[in-house]
Amino acid sequence: MFPYLSSAGLRVMVMARKQVAPRDGKVFLSNVSPFIMNVLQMAGMHKIFQTEPDARTVLSIIHDVCAEKQHDPDTVQYTIDGGSIEIQTVCTEKATLHLTGSLSRVLYAQISPDKVRLVRFSDCEYSIGLGAMAESPEMARELLGEMITLQGSIVWLPTDGNKTPDFFIPITDTGEVRIYTGFNAALKGHFQETLTLTSDTPDGISLSQVYKRIFDHAREMRPDYSGIIAIALIGESGGIRSSGITHPPVRERAPMNGSSIMDPGNVNEWIEVSDSFEYAGESIIAFGIGIDLTHDLSEFQPEQLSALSYIHPANRGLSDMSLHTHGVVFKKFLLSPEPDIGSKIRHLMNNGEFLDMRHLLDDSRLRTIHGAIAYISEIKTDE
C-alpha cells in the first residue's frame, strides 16, 4: 500500500497543533515516510510539527518533559474552579509602577490644559490609563480615552463619538509622535513569574479568579509580596464584559453635581457598558494592575493606593480586590511558539486582525492563557 496524506488529514493535524500550541504543547510525528515528508514540505507544514524516528522516541521525550516539570522547584501548579494554572519563577529582579497624571482628576472630570502630560513610547512598554495621540496637548485633551500600551505600541479608544479604537506600532521612538495622558500607570522592571492558564470548559475562567489565585499564591510563596501586582496576558477569550469612557473628562464637561463620573447619577452618561459577554473564542492581550485588599498595604501611601483603584459600578467580581485591566481583542490567531510573552505579544500585535480595545470588567472570561506576573515593590509618582 502506498503512503497517502489527504488535505483533510492535514487540516486535522493543523487543528491539533493550534489547540495545544497556546499551552506550549507540540504535535509529534513518527515513522514519517519520505513521500509524506515531501507532502508536508510542499505544504510548508514540516516546521510546525516535531518529527522523530519512532513512537518510542516520542514517548521518551514526553516522559522526560513531564519528569522535569514535576521536579522543578520553581514551578507550582494549582487547580482552580473550572481549570488549572501553572506559575513559574523566571527572575528575581524588582518591579515598580510609575504613575503619571491623576486618576482622581479623571474620575471627577477635572483635567485642565495644564494637567495633560506627555509620555514617550519608550517609557511605556506596558501601561494602562487614559490617553490620546495628537499634535498638541490641547488637541489630545478633547480625545482622551481608554488606553493601553503593549511592548511600546499604543491602542486607545478616542472619545470622538465614533467608538472606533485606534492603534500605532512604532518601529523607532523618534520623539516626534507623542502620547498625551491624563493618567497613566506604567510598569518598570521585570516580570518575575510566568503563568499558564487552562480552562476545562469553553466558558473559561473569570479574570477575578486569575487575580485571586495569584494573590493566594503570592501570600504563600513570596516573602517579598507587597499586595500589588501587574500582569500581562495573551491567549483565547472566553467572552469579555467591558466598558469604555464616552466623553473626555475635562473640566468644562464635569458633572454638574460635583460627583465622580462613576457616581450612579452620572455613570450612564459617562460610561458605556457591554453587559453581554463578547468576543468568545477570539484572541486577546491584556495588561492590568491588581490590589489585594486582604493584604497589609501599609508600605504604600494612602494617596498612592487611591491613585490606582476605584469602584466601577458595573463590576461583578470579588470585593476583596481592586482590579484595573485593559484588553485588546484580535480575530482568533495562532500564537507564536516563542516561550517569551513579549515575543508572543509583538507577534500578535504585528500580524493579528485587530477587533477592539476595552476596559475589562472583573468577570470577563479567559480560556487558554499565557501570562507574566510582576510583583510591585514601589510606586513612583510623576504629577
- CA-closest candidate to residue 75, choices 60, 63, 85, 62: 85
Q: H or E segment at 317? A: none
Q: The cell 519512532 sits on which residue?
A: 54
* Confidence (pLDDT) at 144: 94
pLDDT digits (tens, 9 = 90+) for 64-86: 666 555 545 589 999 988 899 99
* Confidence (pLDDT) at 94: 92
* Confidence (pLDDT) at 36: 76
The predicted model gives 333-360 an average pLDDT of 91
Asked if 49 and 142 sit in the same domain, the reply is: no
**Sign of torsion, CA 320 261 124 364?**
positive
Alpha carbon separation from 89 to 72, 77, 285, 372 (Å, rounded): 10, 12, 21, 10
Indicate the number of domains in the chain: 2
pLDDT higher than threshold 70 for residue 127: yes
pLDDT digits (tens, 9 = 90+) for 198-233: 999 999 999 999 999 999 999 999 998 999 999 999
- Which residues are 150's β-sheet partners? 126, 153
Alpha carbons 196 and 152: distance in angstroms, whole number: 23
Asked if 320 and 348 sit in the same domain, the reply is: yes
Asked if 100 and 124 sit in the same domain, the reply is: yes
Alpha carbon separation from 67 to 60, 62, 64, 133 (Å, rounded): 11, 9, 5, 50
The answer to whether the CB of 323 falls within 8 A of the CB of 317 is: yes
Q: How would residue 3 be classed by pLDDT, with cut points 50, 70 and 90?
A: low
Alpha carbons 167 and 69: distance in angstroms, whole number: 39
pLDDT higher than threshold 80 for residue 374: yes
Find how far residue 366's CA is from the centre of its chain.
11
Give the domain-ending residue among 47, 67, 87. 67
Q: Angle at the Cα of 121 (from 116 to 125), degrees rounded to 5?
A: 115
Q: What is the pTM of this model?
A: 0.80
Q: How would residue 97 be classed by pLDDT, with cut points 50, 70 and 90?
A: very high
pLDDT higher than threshold 90 for residue 188: yes
CATH of the domain at 54: 3.30.750.24
Domain that holds residue 330: 72-383
Judging by DSSP bridges, how do beta strands 179-189 and 228-245 pair with one another? unpaired
Query: For residue 250, what is the DSSP state?
Result: B
Alpha carbon separation from 223 to 76, 195, 219, 373, 375 (Å, rounded): 16, 19, 7, 15, 11
Task: Output the average pLDDT for the chain.
Answer: 87
- Which residues are 87's β-sheet partners? 76, 195
* Confidence (pLDDT) at 314: 86
Find how far residue 262's CA is from the centre of its chain.
24
Alpha carbons 329 and 355: distance in angstroms, whole number: 5
Alpha carbons 13 and 26: distance in angstroms, whole number: 11
CATH of the domain at 87: 3.30.1330.80
Query: For residue 336, what is the DSSP state?
Result: P
Q: How would residue 1 be classed by pLDDT, with cut points 50, 70 and 90?
A: very low
**Sign of torsion, CA 356 357 360 365?**
positive
Judging by DSSP bridges, how do beta strands 228-245 and 75-80 pair with one another? unpaired
Give the domain-ending residue among 45, 67, 89. 67
Asked if 81 and 19 sit in the same domain, the reply is: no
Residue 199 located in a structural domain? yes
pLDDT digits (tens, 9 = 90+) for 229-284: 999 999 999 999 999 999 999 999 999 999 999 999 999 999 999 989 999 999 99
Asked if 42 and 145 sit in the same domain, the reply is: no
Q: Strand, helix or coil at 230?
A: strand
Asked if 110 and 16 sit in the same domain, the reply is: no
